[in-house]
Structures are given as C-alpha cells and as structure tokens.
Structure 1
Amino acid sequence: MGKIVFYEEKNFQGHSHECSSDCPDLHCYFRRCNSIRVESGCWVLYERPNYKGYQFILNQGEYPDYQQWMGFSDSIRSCRCITNVYGNAYKIRIYERPDFGGQMAEYRDDCSSVHEALKFHDFNSCVVMDGAWAFYEQPNYRGRQYFLEKGEYRNYRDWGANSSSVGSFRRTSGMYRIRIYENPDFQGQVTELNEDCPSVYERFRRGEVPSCNVMNGAWVFYEYPNYRGRQYLLERGEYHRCTEWNTTHPTVGSFRRVQDIL
C-alpha cells in the first residue's frame, strides 16, 4: 500500500496529514490542501467526499501547489490508492507436449534463450500460475509476441500462436490493453491500443470515446489533448457508456497508461 502526505499550505507547510489507505472523507483531517508529497504508490484524489467530483492521478513525487496536479482549487476531500494490477509474484510451468504432457519446466524469472536454457525447445502447453508473461518468437525478446495471463493453455493455439516455437519469454508488469469503440455498448468500429494517445482526434478523427473495454492495466482519460484538463481513472473492466467513468459527455482529448502503480 502507498503513502501520501497532505499539507494545508503551499510548499509543504502548515498542518499535515499522512495517509496510507483509501479515505472516503478527508474533511475531518484538514480544511484545505495546497501541497502534497506522494512518498509511494499511485493515488487518485477527488474534489468531493466519497470519491466524487474531479479526479487527479498522482504518482510518486512532490507537488508544491495544487496547479502541479492540475487542480482547480485547494479542495481535496477523498482519496484512494491504486492497487497493483498484476501482482508481485510470477510463476509459469511449461510443458513439452499438449495437454500438459511430457517434460515440464517451472520458471519464476525471464528466459532470454529457450534453446540454451531448456532441454526441449517447443512449448506445446503451459500453465501461468502467477503474474503475466510474454512469449517471443525469437531469442532475446524479438519477433512476434504473445501475452499470457493467469490460466491454463492446453496447446499453442490457446495463446494465439501458429506453432509451438518459442525463442524467449519474460515476465511483464507493464502490459496495457484498451479497446476503444465508435459507439456506446461496444458497437461500431473498434481499435485496440497498448500505448499512450496524446490526441484522440488525430488518432481516431473524432473527439469522443462512447464506450471502451480496459483489458489490462489502468488508464487515465483527459478532457483535452496532451494530457490536460479533467481526469478520469479507468481500471480493468467494461465501460458501456461514458457515465460509467463518471462523466456526462464522451468527449476525450487524450488518454494514457498509469505506469507507476507497481
């Protein structure tokens, strides 16, 4: 869990309050908030109690005045810490044959060359026991990539490959996937992204996100391009329409990954 310190005055002066867990009502701890020090974790601050109002996403660092977190005033009334999306443990079991047959190797670390590390060089099935992993077609994490989450994969087709050949694999704590839809309720044209988008209009030729599906990671939608304006945190899940991320209009100027939550 993270740690955040709120100060009533600018430049970390005046009365302070330290917080290490979610808090639906901060009003009883301080009257106003003009500076913040995030000592660990990633936090979402809200303008009103019970996680309502404008949202501000803060990573580890110092914020000497509210303009530094793009605030509109010194009002911060609730907060919560973004939990680890992927977890800290990693474990995968790799099998020589389909349906978990033949030789088995268990890994908790990255493998840059399957040919050098294992007696068998084809992966025909596997079990991801903890964490998220990426398989690569070639050694040293090159070539086609396949993302594997926790679960059983009885043959290589289960992770989307056309053959059992894997050149390398590694843990991934930074895999992000979001699907943007043209219309509400996941209708119309769909685009899947795994990178930041500084301008929704330039990318999609429209300035709206009527619905979306956050498949991996946590993302922030911004009211204006280049990550400015009101912010909305979206964690893993389906968002049938814009009201489900607490806005009344689907206008989105930009969006990006929350990368400092591990």
Structure 2
Amino acid sequence: MRIGRHGVDFDSAVQSMRYILADYMKPEVTLFEEADLKNGNSIVLNSAVPNLESRGYKTVTRSIKVKSGVWVAYHEEHYSGEQYVLEKGVYRTTIAGEDQTSQSSPIRPILLEAVGGNEAQFQIQAYNGIDFQGESVEFVTELPSLPPLQPNAFKVLRGCWVLYDEEDYSGCQYVLEEGHYPDLDSLGCLSGKSIRSLKPIISDFSTPSIGLYSLDSFEGQELILTEGASCLKKIGYYQYPNSVKVNSGT
C-alpha cells in the first residue's frame, strides 16, 4: 500500500500494523545534514513543513533527533510517497534503509485529536473479578473513597490515572496509562493491598522540570531534571531525596 498525492494505491497486501504511542508535549524534531547528529547544517521544527526548502533547509537529511512527539517523514513533496514514522529518539543514520531523504522531503507531527464535547476526557473501568469478570463500575473523575466493590482489574480507556491503596489519595501510588490491567499484580500493587481511591492525571503541556533535594524544605544538594532518569547514581546524584519540587510537567 502506497499513499500518494492522488490517494491510496493498494499494490501489495498489508503485512503488519501497530498503534503509535504519542506523548502530550509540544512536538520538536531536529534534522541534521550529517550522520550521527554531527555539527553542520541542521534545522529545528515544531510544526508541519510541506517543503523543507521553503524553510531554508536546502540539503539532504542524514540523521534525525526527535525530542518530543511523533513525526511522519515523507519521501515526496506535499506529504506523499513512502512514509517513515519517527518516534521519540535518535536516528543516527538514514531512515528505513534509504541512502538519503530528498531535499524537499516534507515532515509533520502527529497531533492528538481533541476530545469531543460529549466525551469524557478521562475514563476508567473497575471490575471486582480478575480478568475483567464480575461486577464493574466506571469512573470519569476523581474519587477519594471507592464504593465497596473491591476492584481486582482495571481498563483505562482514556487518559492516565493514579490509584492509591488508601482513601483520600494516600498510601502507595500506582500510575496507569491507557491499557488493560487484568489483576492487581499487573498494577504493581503490593501483596495484601487493595485500591481505595483514584484520580486522573491532569496533563501539563509545558517542558517538564523537577528539583530533588537531599534535605527537607528544598535545601541541601540539588538536582534539576528535565527528562527521565533510570538511575540517579548514574548521573552523579548519590543523595536520597527528602524533598521534591515539581516546577513544570507531570
């Protein structure tokens, strides 16, 4: 299947497919003339560009860095020809085995569709049996105390949610993105615990920033993060954070 300027040409069978996990941040991508993101001619984009030459980028693209969002690069002008989906990450060489992209190759971000006026922005279903069996109840807003359902499985249909094993949004937290959670183990819920309250996460579209402090009241050794860190020691922070300040983002 090829998508051209005159529509879709089904010249072969679709062999595989998957859904795209898009983030909520403002899209940003950098195109580089050289491979491995080397210094040289480059351009930073935040919106769709039907022709790169119109933005003064009259060169080929040999490496790409997607800082945020999900982008689609096209092989021909006006968003036509073969497509290459670029998710967050670094592409140090050409994409999809191509020798190079055309000077005029367009690129655009995939934007999240706004929720309609009659649709809930957040939606989660709770079941009292594992594997989505038994009685169920649906929530579209926060609830400081769950009804006596004893939920053991969840389906997150819209948005992201935080579940708590105590009432009034206290105790251990379990962050759930859109998807199916057939039992409490799939949440990471501790043995012997149950879910007692829940609320949706209101997305912050600004650039994320968080401060970690080794002492209470935002004092002591400070570490400011603007992106995820799998291990604080690997980035030279050996303290145990005793206070946290979220500057922006979630």
Same fold (TM over 0.5): no
Q: Which has the higher strand share?
A: 1
TM-score by length of 2: 0.40
Structure number, greater radius of gyration:
2
The normalised TM-score by structure 1 is 0.38
